[in-house]
C-alpha cells in the first residue's frame, strides 16, 4: 500500500485546463445602437378591407447577459407569434438578426444604423427568399422615445424598395 501511495504521489499531476476566456463585454457604443427598440410596444397596421391589425411586441436586452436583443412578437387574434435575436458583430461591424415564427419562417438579416436616409436603422436579408428570390429589408423610421414606424419592404426589379408591411409602434405605458 505504501508503494501504491508513493507511485501515485510521484506521478505528474494532470495539468489544469486553461481558464475560459471572459465573455464579451458588450459595453461599447455599438452595442447600444438598437436600444431605442427595447421596451413593450403596441403595434397597429393596415389589413385588407380597411381593417386595422393589432399586435404586441416585447423587446428585451437582458435575457442573454446584455449582449443580445430579444424580440417577442404576438398577434393574438390570429395566433401568430414570432421572435428574433439581434446582436452586434464587432468583426463585421454590423448587426445580425435571426427571425423565426410559428408559420415556419426563418430569416437572417444584417445591417445597422444608416445616415443620409429617411430612416435610421436598416436590416437586409442575408439571402433572397421566395419563388422570385426577393430581397427584403426592415427599416425603422421616425424614431422617437415613445413611437416609431417599422417597415418590411421587398426589393423591386428596378432596385427600389416597396412596402409589404408597415407597423406603427407606440410604447406601452
In 3-state terms, what secondary structure has residue 37? helix
Instruction: Between 38 and 6, name the one with better pLDDT.
Output: 38
- Tell me the pLDDT band of 5, cut-offs 50, 70 and 90: very low
- The per-residue pLDDT for 128 is 77
Residue 106 CB partners (closer than 8 Å, separation 6+):
98, 99, 100
- The per-residue pLDDT for 7 is 47
Quote the CA–CA distance of 109 and 117 in Å, as a whole number: 19
Task: Evaluate if residue 11 carries a pLDDT over 60.
Answer: no
- The per-residue pLDDT for 133 is 79
Task: Evaluate if residue 3 carries a pLDDT over 80.
Answer: no
Burial class (CB in 10 A: 0-12, 13-18, 19+), 153: buried
The tens digit of pLDDT for each residue in 23-77 reads 667 989 999 999 999 999 999 999 999 999 999 999 999 888 889 999 999 999 9
pTM: 0.82
Amino acid at each position: 500500500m505504501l508503494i501504491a501511495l508513493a507511485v501515485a504521489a510521484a506521478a505528474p499531476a494532470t495539468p489544469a485546463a486553461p481558464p475560459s476566456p471572459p465573455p464579451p463585454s458588450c459595453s461599447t457604443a455599438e452595442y447600444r445602437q438598437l436600444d431605442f427598440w427595447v421596451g413593450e410596444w403596441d403595434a397597429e397596421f393596415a389589413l385588407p378591407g380597411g381593417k386595422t391589425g393589432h399586435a404586441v411586441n416585447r423587446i428585451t436586452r437582458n435575457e442573454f447577459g446584455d449582449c443580445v436583443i430579444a424580440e417577442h412578437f404576438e398577434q393574438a387574434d390570429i395566433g401568430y407569434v414570432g421572435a428574433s435575436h439581434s446582436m452586434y458583430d464587432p468583426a463585421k461591424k454590423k448587426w445580425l438578426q435571426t427571425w423565426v415564427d410559428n408559420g415556419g419562417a426563418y430569416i437572417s438579416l444584417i445591417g445597422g444604423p444608416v445616415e443620409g436616409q429617411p430612416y435610421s436603422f436598416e436590416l437586409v436579408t442575408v439571402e433572397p427568399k421566395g419563388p422570385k428570390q426577393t430581397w427584403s429589408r426592415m427599416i425603422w423610421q421616425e424614431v422617437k422615445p415613445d413611437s416609431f414606424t417599422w417597415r418590411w419592404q421587398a426589393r423591386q426589379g428596378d432596385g427600389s424598395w416597396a412596402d409589404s408591411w408597415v407597423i406603427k409602434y407606440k410604447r406601452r405605458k
